């Protein structure tokens, strides 16, 4: 009898302990865990399209293209064939990373003098003179040709069908569509396309885009040439002529995305990879290097503590000030990437952080002589991984639509500087400093593809995500959901925090001089992200999706045994 009671007591204790852990868990959802492929995207429709490609024999690259193409249909304000793309591909067989920079260049005639003669004193953020050549379609072609297992036409088929048959508008999408379309769209073509019946489609309302279906069909049939030299190019050039743009046929025909080597740093045993300039990923790596000089995760620097947050916020200011001063398009220029990535530089910059006071006037260090975006990620059953980010830049980009094309042009050119001395100075066939960055990390047998969207939020969000994993031992779903800060400005002491941070932490940060703008518990201000992780030793995949978006991580249902 005593043995029975003891067993019952033990079982009750174990049950209560498990129940306590469940009750105390801070994340809102569990990771998706599978031996087969996983697609994580900010739209379930797009993620499911990618999964169907995996289930029909495609690999991670095929699924990423399919997912991205559907995202361009269901979230047209954020991304599409009128925007740019960056990707990091992990090839499991060779255990190597490949970076693709599919960001577009400025038209050859779009120069500082050209805009000055038009009376511009700052780089336009909307309209025809903010448009650069869209790089996404050439990016798809290069990814498909080098790594894809299926034809590009197969990868684009779900997006074509979705555009033709229509889709019900999701909640987050409705918010951005309703708020931004009436403000930013320019011209009858754009308003007719995105404001059918005179208004933005509401949640659950079916939206169809036969023009975009036509454009995707041209690309499926003729590849990238349809966009840069063929039928779509003709529509693009007609729009340039109508709105007085400087883009010409050669600007499109001569464009080519570039394969490049990701840059990296180490952080608490992790190796973290970002794309090199012209992207902002270098700021995430420099920020991590500065943070590593402080004992985050240890006594006095615990999770959500004022000391830890102060260090991260101040690190952001220093890293971003270096980015803006020294980084632009590296082609034909010598940029100080190695110096800014060095641990010695980080140690020097870390000494600028006052533990008791916020710095409202952070400036770039002295060198020694001498948004709006979509992010998606895929892992397949073989362990190949893709970290892909794609964007129109601001919501609805430039606001201009090519008649019959079904897509809006990006306004990425708005990030150029009209200061001739800047490394980011506008010039023909030059790419601007870019905000969108895919991330990748590894530690031992772990491979991790991740990204968090939101303009200049991205590098600081990447650093916080890695810190949550490395310093605080979170899994990828918990780290994706953890409360974040963001500082979208480059000067001042203003900073935005979600209201899930403890009141005592907020009070302590205010006492240090931080000017806090408090937002809701899962605000879009701090961006939304996705992540997939693979344990190479077990062959098990994990997926995470940010509740700050409409999306989810979806696992492949195998059509045959993985072994």
Portion of the chain with pLDDT greater than 70, in percent: 92
Beta bridge partners of 495: 516
240 burial (CB, 10 Å; 0-12 / 13-18 / 19+) is buried
Which value, to the nearest 10 degrees, does the dihedral of the CA atoms of residues 185, 189, 193, 196 take? 90
Give the model confidence (pLDDT) of 487-542 as tens digits.
998 889 999 999 999 999 999 999 999 999 999 999 999 999 999 999 999 999 99
Quick check: 308 pLDDT over 70?
Answer: yes
Q: Tokens 């790419």 identify what position?
A: 431
Give the model confidence (pLDDT) of 197-223 as tens digits.
899 999 999 999 999 999 999 999 999
Give the model confidence (pLDDT) of 327-361 as tens digits.
776 666 667 888 989 999 999 999 999 999 999 99
Give the model confidence (pLDDT) of 360-386 as tens digits.
998 876 554 335 578 999 999 999 999
As a whole number of angstroms, the distance between CA 310 and CA 510 comes to 10
* Pairing of β 494-498 and β 515-519: parallel
Chain-wide mean pLDDT for the chain? 92
Give the model confidence (pLDDT) of 71-115 as tens digits.
999 999 999 999 999 999 999 999 999 999 999 999 999 999 999
SS3 264: strand
As a whole number of angstroms, the distance between CA 116 and CA 416 comes to 14
Neighbours of 285 (CB within 10 A): 27
- Band (pLDDT 50/70/90 cuts) for residue 279 is confident
Domains of the chain and CATH, by start: 34-81+125-255+393-415 (no CATH), 260-372+436-548 (3.60.20.40)
Helix intervals (H) in 327-372: 337-341, 343-350
pLDDT at 333: 63
Candidate list 67, 111, 373, 523, residue with the active-site label: 373
Is 265 noted as a catalytic residue in this protein?
A: no
Angle at 65 between CA 59 and CA 66, to 5 degrees: 90
pLDDT at 490: 87
Quick check: 552 pLDDT over 60?
Answer: yes
User: DSSP letters of 49-88?
Assistant: HHHHHHHTT--HHHHHHHHHHHHHHH-TTT-STTSEEEEE
- 298 contacts: CB under 8 Å, gap ≥ 6: none
- Residue pair 453/464 in contact (Cβ under 8 Å)? The answer is no
pLDDT at 103: 96
Weakest-pLDDT range from 1-5, 248-252, 253-257, 535-539: 1-5
């Amino acid at each position: 009898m005593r043995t029975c009671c003891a067993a019952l007591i033990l079982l009750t204790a174990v049950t209560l302990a498990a129940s306590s852990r469940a009750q105390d868990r801070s994340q809102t959802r569990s990771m998706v865990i599978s031996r087969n492929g996983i697609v994580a995207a900010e739209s379930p429709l797009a993620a499911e399209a990618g999964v169907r490609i995996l289930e029909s024999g495609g690999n991670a690259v095929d699924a990423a293209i399919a997912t991205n193409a559907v995202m361009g249909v269901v979230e047209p304000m954020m991304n599409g064939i009128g925007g740019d793309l960056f990707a990091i591909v992990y090839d499991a067989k060779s255990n190597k990373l490949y970076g693709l920079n599919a960001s577009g260049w400025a038209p050859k005639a779009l120069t500082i003098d050209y805009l000055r003669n038009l009376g511009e004193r700052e780089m336009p953020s909307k309209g025809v003179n903010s448009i650069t050549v869209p790089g996404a379609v050439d990016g798809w072609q290069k990814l498909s040709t080098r790594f894809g297992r299926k034809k590009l036409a197969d990868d684009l088929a779900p997006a074509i069908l979705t555009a033709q048959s229509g889709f019900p508008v999701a909640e987050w999408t409705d918010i951005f569509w309703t708020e931004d379309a009436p403000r930013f769209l320019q011209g009858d073509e754009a308003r007719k396309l995105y404001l059918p019946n005179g208004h933005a489609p509401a949640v659950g309302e079916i939206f169809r885009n036969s023009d975009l279906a036509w454009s995707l069909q041209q690309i499926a049939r003729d590849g990238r040439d349809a966009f840069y030299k063929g039928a779509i190019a003709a529509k693009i050039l007609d729009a340039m002529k109508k709105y007085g743009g400087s883009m010409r046929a050669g600007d499109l025909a001569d464009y080519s995305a570039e394969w490049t080597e990701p840059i990296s740093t180490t952080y608490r045993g992790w190796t973290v990879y970002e794309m090199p300039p012209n992207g902002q990923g270098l700021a995430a790596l420099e920020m991590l290097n500065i943070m590593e000089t402080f004992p985050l995760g240890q006594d006095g620097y615990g999770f959500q503590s004022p000391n830890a947050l102060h260090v991260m916020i101040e690190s952001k200011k220093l890293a971003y000030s270096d980015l803006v001063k020294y980084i632009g398009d590296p082609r034909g220029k010598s940029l100080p990437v190695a110096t800014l990535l060095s641990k010695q530089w980080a140690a020097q910059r870390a000494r600028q952080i006052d533990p008791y006071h916020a710095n409202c006037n952070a400036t770039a260090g002295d060198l020694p002589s001498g948004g709006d975006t979509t992010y998606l990620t895929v892992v397949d059953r073989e362990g190949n991984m893709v970290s892909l980010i794609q964007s129109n830049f601001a919501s609805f980009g430039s606001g201009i639509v090519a008649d019959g094309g079904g897509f809006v042009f990006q306004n990425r050119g708005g990030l150029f500087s009209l200061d001739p001395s800047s490394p980011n100075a506008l010039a023909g066939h030059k790419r601007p400093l870019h905000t969108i960055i895919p991330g990748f990390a590894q530690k031992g047998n772990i491979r991790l593809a991740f990204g968090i969207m939101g303009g200049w939020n991205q590098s600081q969000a990447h650093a916080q995500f890695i810190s949550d994993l490395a310093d605080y031992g979170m899994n990828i779903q918990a780290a994706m959901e953890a409360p974040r800060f963001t500082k979208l400005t480059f000067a001042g002491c203003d900073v935005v925090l979600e209201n899930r941070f403890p009141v005592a932490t907020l009070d302590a940060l205010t006492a240090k001089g931080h000017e806090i703008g408090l937002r809701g518990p899962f605000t879009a201000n701090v961006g939304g992200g996705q992540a997939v992780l693979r344990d190479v030793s077990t062959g098990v995949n994990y997926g995470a999706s940010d509740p700050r978006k409409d999306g989810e991580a979806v696992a492949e249902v195998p059509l045959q045994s993985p072994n």
